Amino acid sequence: MKVFFIGAGPGAADLITVRGAEILRRADLVLYAGSLVSEEILQYCQEGSTCVNTAGLHLEQQLEWYRQAKQNDWLVARVHSGDPAIYGATAEQMRHLREWGVDFEIVPGVSSFTAAAACFGAELTKPSVAQSIILTRTTGRASGVPEREALAELAAHQTTLCIFLSGPHLASMVADLRQHYPYNTPIWMIQKATWPQEQKHQSTLETVLDEVNPQEWALSTMILVGEVLEEELPDVSRLYSSQYTHRFRRREKNMTEA
Ligand SMILES: C[S@@+](CC[C@H](N)C(=O)[O-])C[C@H]1O[C@@H](n2cnc3c(N)ncnc32)[C@H](O)[C@@H]1O
């Protein structure tokens, strides 16, 4: 038996990696988190494989499937949304597999925060504006956030924020963010990025609460915040400047001489 934890990507079936799709073609058992993973990815599964939506299963019920796979020496694909390393609750599954001596491997995926940037046509880092990205969330019913990571603390960095799992808490988030970010800072929201039902809203910390109903953005919503999103910022990267040289690119004059 071997288990592959596979990142399905944000939703569109063709955003799973080639490696992930290739493992689905060989898997005997496919466990997928159906609340966020599109069933379209099941098109990659081989005929006769067992596909189980784990959205309604608690951990012990999922472990029961792993036990069955161990008895039958199955190849298991455990499919999580985005990248499995981020809010995937994979560690608790891996702990049990380690205890049972079951081999596992992780296949990374396109996370929803980079998918969100792509859907907006945005870059999340710009020289002298933001060179760090904070991935965070607000406290939820299932998972608490350590006090030292409170949004109001993280906001003090005034860098790019990608906020997961937090749509319903928009009002308190905006209040925390306004403590440090200027009110005209962009806040962009995207729900179900790359799915047919995708919804987007671009706003600022000043006006967003007048424009959206947080309850409508409760599920599958990524929130991006930061000056970096301002579209009118001047280009200050020197990376592609003709005057900037590095080991892979010599000065233009030298290149024509070469
Ligand atoms: C349990 S976390 C899983 C995150 C996932 N591992 C990732 O890398 O994107 C679920 C949260 O991810 C975000 N998310 C996942 N898929 C999304 C999508 N297609 N569009 C917008 N946000 C998404 C939302 O914030 C959602 O509440």
Range of the domain at 88: 2-107
Within-domain flag for 253: no
Phi, psi of 127 (to 5 degrees): -55, 140
Q: What number is the average pLDDT over the span 247-251?
A: 68
Query: How much is the pLDDT for 258?
Result: 41
Count of other CB atoms within 10 angstroms of residue 248: 5
What's the pLDDT tens digit per position in 113-130?
999 999 999 999 999 999
Given a cut of 70, is residue 73 above it in pLDDT?
yes
Residue 81 tokens read as 């949304």
What's the pLDDT tens digit per position in 212-230?
999 999 999 999 999 999 9
- Domain identity same for 84 and 33: yes
Write down which residue in 107, 138, 157 finishes a domain: 107
Q: Ligand 1: distance of its center to the CA of 233 in Å?
A: 28
Q: How many residues does the chain have?
A: 258
- Give the span between the Cα atoms of 106 and 17, in whole angstroms: 12
- Domain identity same for 55 and 80: yes
Among 33-42, 183-192, 231-240, the least confident range: 231-240
- Domain identity same for 202 and 123: yes
Task: Judge contact between 164 and 114, C-beta under 8 A.
Answer: no
Within-domain flag for 33: yes
> Which CATH number goes with the domain that contains 146?
3.30.950.10
Q: What number is the average pLDDT over the span 162-184?
A: 97
Residue 236 confidence class, pLDDT cut points 50, 70, 90 = low
Given a cut of 70, is residue 184 above it in pLDDT?
yes
Within-domain flag for 100: yes
- Domain identity same for 19 and 59: yes
Given a cut of 60, is residue 256 above it in pLDDT?
no
- Domain identity same for 20 and 96: yes
Question: Which of 195, 220, 223, 225 is the best mutation target for the ligand 1 pocket, counting ligand atoms within 8 Å of the beta carbon and taking the most?
Answer: 220
Among 17-26, 136-145, 156-165, 194-203, the least confident range: 136-145
Rg over CA atoms, the chain: 21
169 lines ligand 1 (CB under 6 A): no
Which is it for strands 186-191 and 199-204: parallel, antiparallel or unpaired?
antiparallel
What's the pLDDT tens digit per position in 31-55?
999 999 999 999 999 999 999 999 9
- Domain identity same for 66 and 157: no
- Domain identity same for 118 and 96: no
Q: Ligand 1: distance of its center to the CA of 221 in Å?
A: 7
- Give the span between the Cα atoms of 233 and 170, in whole angstroms: 26
Within-domain flag for 95: yes
Split into its structural domains, the chain has a count of 2
- Mean pLDDT of all residues belonging to the chain: 93
> Which CATH number goes with the domain that contains 83?
3.40.1010.10
Within-domain flag for 236: no
Within-domain flag for 6: yes
- Domain identity same for 100 and 142: no
- Give the span between the Cα atoms of 258 and 256, in whole angstroms: 5
* Residue scoring higher pLDDT (102 or 247): 102
33 lines ligand 1 (CB under 6 A): no
Residue 195 Cα: closest atom of ligand 1: 19
What's the pLDDT tens digit per position in 88-110?
999 999 999 999 999 999 999 99
Question: Which of 143, 222, 223 is the best mutation target for the ligand 1 pocket, counting ligand atoms within 8 Å of the beta carbon and taking the most?
Answer: 222
- Domain identity same for 30 and 65: yes
